[in-house]
């Protein structure tokens, strides 16, 4: 399963390799799998991931999980509570 922890690990590697486009695909694939997950699978999204190595990507990952949790009417995991970034940042 592509959990937030595994996603952060993959994003970190792709960014280090200079592949931000692949990092975006990894994050969006995790979002898709989260949308399709049944309630039993949601527990895998509760554990906090390690850092991607970049605060903007950490915030993005947390926001994806926060958004989908709210869409499902669920309480978001505590690790998704991130302060806003100091400046605007757009994926891509």
Q: pLDDT band at residue 68, thresholds of 50, 70 and 90?
A: confident
Could you tell me the residue ranges of all domains in the chain?
Answer: 4-80
- Contacts of residue 38, defined as CB under 8 A and 6 or more positions apart, other chains included, come to none
Q: Are 53 and 30 in contact (CB under 8 A)?
A: no
Contacts of 35 (CB under 8 A, 6+ apart): 68, 71
41-45, 54-58, 83-87: range with lowest mean pLDDT: 41-45
């Amino acid at each position: 399963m592509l959990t937030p922890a595994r996603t952060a690990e993959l994003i970190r590697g792709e960014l280090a390799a200079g592949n931000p486009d692949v990092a975006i695909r990894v994050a969006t694939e995790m979002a898709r799998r989260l949308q399709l997950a049944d309630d039993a699978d949601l527990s895998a999204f509760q554990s906090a991931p390690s850092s991607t190595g970049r605060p903007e990507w950490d915030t993005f990952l947390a926001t994806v999980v926060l958004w989908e949790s709210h869409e499902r009417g669920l309480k978001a995991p505590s690790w998704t509570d991130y302060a806003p970034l100091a400046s605007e940042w757009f994926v891509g």
